[in-house]
Chains A and B, each alone.
Chain A
Amino acid sequence: MSGVNLSGIVKSYGALQVVHGIDLEVTEKEFVVLVGPSGCGKSTTLRMIAGLEEITAGDLTIDDRRVNRVAPKDRDVAMVFQNYALYPHLNVADNMAFGLRIRKMPKDEIKKTIDDVAETLGLTEYLERRPADLSGGQRQRVAMGRAIVRHPKVFLFDEPLSNLDAKLRTQMRAEIKRLHNRLDVTSIYVTHDQVEAMTLADRIVVMNDGRIEQIGTPMELFNHPANIFVAGFLGLPPMNQLKGTLTKSGAMIGDTEIKVDGIDAQQIGRDVIVGIRPEHVTLTAGKGTSELPIELDLVEPLGSEALLHARHEGNELVFKAETHGDIAYLSGVKSVHITASLVKLFDGETGVALGARV
């Protein structure tokens, strides 16, 4: 089974520990995305899997074989780098052939492999060009081609789309997804972009400060974030977070009570953070039950929807609303009605999701 298993993986640079004992099982053919803010240890983890960084402690197995001390070339992994890492003095064909030549593959076989992969990636007409003569998207494709020709057991992607512009990124994201569906090779993908994580992953691993915060499918993480960090990291715009106290039927936020389903009677009076997704509200013009009064600050039209920047007792909030082709009506919004079943509650001190709702 071409799975990758990380068990208690630790990385330290001298006295500074940057990855604190990671456990992760990536099953065969799975597409796992490591996501987190800059400096959370996701790239370091990927580089440990590739063999570019030494593992300080813990076990790394690929295909049930412990590879902690195995040279990168013998791990049978291929990596796509953020800045493409294309050899500027070689043309596209030679760039893709580099690893194969080093492995002493026969010439005719190299040519056939490269032709096949170039066709898959739409690079056939660029084979003679040098990287400097290619666009960003084409370079990215060459970088992927170089990984694909090796037929590795595991693909490792280190923020491969972060150097592309937004439009190209969307396009390449879809190409990567299609490619994975076709090749069916275990893939581990690092990004700080939650949209990439949500769209590409079979499972997402959210990392923060060298630790795993939560592992799950994109929808599991979105619907049931384990803590306030995951809740705030996934979703665009991020979840609104308001301090409150639990009551019998909901939570008091300042002077306003909003309804929340499934409150445990024993938890009444507990300090919580109330998480409200920007899209889980209905705009209203007056004060009713479970309605949060807001002062509208700014409306950002996005076309079919608009983002409403608002304030409630000093807290900055963002909500999403349908425009129906017109944003004029949004200026009259005075409060938002919050859907009781969709509110998330987190412990006021630890930020961990309240058990009843996970």
Chain B
Amino acid sequence: MAEHNSTSEGRLIRLYDHFKREWQIYVLLLPMIIWFLVFLYKPMYGLQVAFKDYSIFSGVANSPWIGLEHFNTLFGSDQFMRAIRNTVIISIYSLCVGFPMPIILALMFNEITHHAFKRTAQTIVYLPHFISTVIIGGIVITAFSPTAGIVNLFLGWLGFEPIYFLIKPEWFRPIFIGSGIWQEAGFSSIVFLAAIAGVNPSLYESAVVDGASRWQMMWKITLPSILPTIIIMLIIRIGNLLEVGFELIIVLYQPATYETADVINTFIYRQGLQGAQYDLAAAAGLFNAVVAFVLVMTANTISRRYSRTSLW
């Protein structure tokens, strides 16, 4: 017992010494900790309304507990099930099409040797990232307009009838995913370009002496070298799988396209903010968060086991 005490005492003294020595570092960390506490942990207190019959007059604490009733309602609702289905489909499509795009772009940029051309091309593909989502939505709506949109204009030249893209459910997903890629692929490629820049140049020189072509070098050196970065980005992406960029959906969708466009986040937005059903929306949000948590944990574990790369 005495030994135990002295060990824990020793640990305390060591901790105290450590803080005394390194306190500046903890001061630097403080703003981030406060930010996390205020904006991420404190709101978690409100999560309990997912299990309560919440009334804004009674407040969070005084609303009566109702167990899993909201979850029963959600899973019994066709709209919510449709939102889950749409979220998963849109997420998987964007993952399959959208995730490789920045990697391909980065590989292509890496192959461009003409500096001015490279810089211009990079600026052009980075640009949409800096435009607000609402403006992007406006551009997309204009581009696909049946009367003045460039897409229908082009179809008209080819002799086709104009297509009402934005009210046809079957067109929503391709348009949404395509505009998402247009907006973000360029900017997301920066992280892969940085990874490529970190590849030891003598690997390429050695391959050149061995007789490898540029194509072979890309496949056999560049891609395997940036694989850890790709995996990390994929884990992060999988963690955010259910976080479909709903701002753009809200701008683009309309009741006619709810069938393919309504995702969990837009459902939460409609129920929670427009319908004032905060408790039901909180339950949907909590479900979303739990699934995302499970996804990121699974992806990380699989990656750590098979590729020795992981986020933590």
B230: shortest Cβ distance to chain A, in Å? Answer: 12
B210-A99 in contact (CB<8A): yes
Question: Are B200 and A102 interface neighbours, CB within 8 A?
Answer: no
- Minimum CB–CB distance from A309 to chain B (whole Å) comes to 39
Is B113 an interface position by the 8 A CB rule?
Answer: no
Taking CB atoms, residues of chain A closer than 8 Å to B205 are: 50, 52, 79, 81, 85
Chain B interface size, as a band, is 10 to 19
State whether the Cβ of B212 lies closer than 8 Å to any Cβ in chain A. Answer: yes
CB interface residues, B 188-215, toward A, < 8 Å: 200, 202-203, 205-212
Give bound CA distance, A313 to B206, whole Å. 52
Whether, in the assembled complex, B142 has its beta carbon less than 8 Å from a beta carbon of chain A, the answer is no
- Hey, what's the 0/1 contact readout for B207-247 against A, CB within 8 Å counting as 1? 11111100010001100110100000000000000000000
Closest B residue to A50 by beta carbon equals B209
A85 engages B220 (CB within 8 Å): no
User: Are B202 and A85 neighbours in the complex by a CB distance under 8 Å?
Assistant: yes
CB distance from A325 to the nearest CB of B (A): 47
A-B contact count (CB 8 A): 58
List the B residue with the shortest CB-CB distance to A80. Answer: B206
Residues in B with CB closer than 8 Å to A48 are none
Is A52 a contact of B211 with CB atoms below 8 Å?
Answer: no
Chain A 35-76 against B: per-residue CB contact (8 Å), 1 yes, 0 no? 000000000000000111000000000000000000011100
- Please give me the residue from chain A that is nearest to B201 by CB atom: A85
State whether A83 and B202 are in contact (beta carbons under 8 Å apart), knowing that A88-B225, A89-B224 are contacts in the complex: yes
Q: What are the nearest 8 A-B pairs in CB distance? A: A73-B211, A99-B210, A85-B206, A89-B224, A85-B202, A81-B202, A79-B209, A72-B209
Interface on A for B, CB 8 Å cutoff? Answer: 50-52, 72-74, 77-79, 81-83, 85, 87-90, 98-99, 102-103, 146, 150
B contact residues vs A (CB 8 Å cutoff): 200, 202-203, 205-212, 216, 220-221, 224-225, 227
Could you list 20 further interchain pairs (A-B, Cβ under 8 angstroms) beyond the known A72-B208, A88-B225? A51-B209, A52-B205, A72-B211, A73-B209, A73-B212, A78-B209, A79-B205, A81-B202, A81-B206, A83-B200, A85-B200, A85-B205, A85-B206, A87-B224, A89-B224, A98-B207, A102-B207, A102-B210, A146-B206, A146-B210
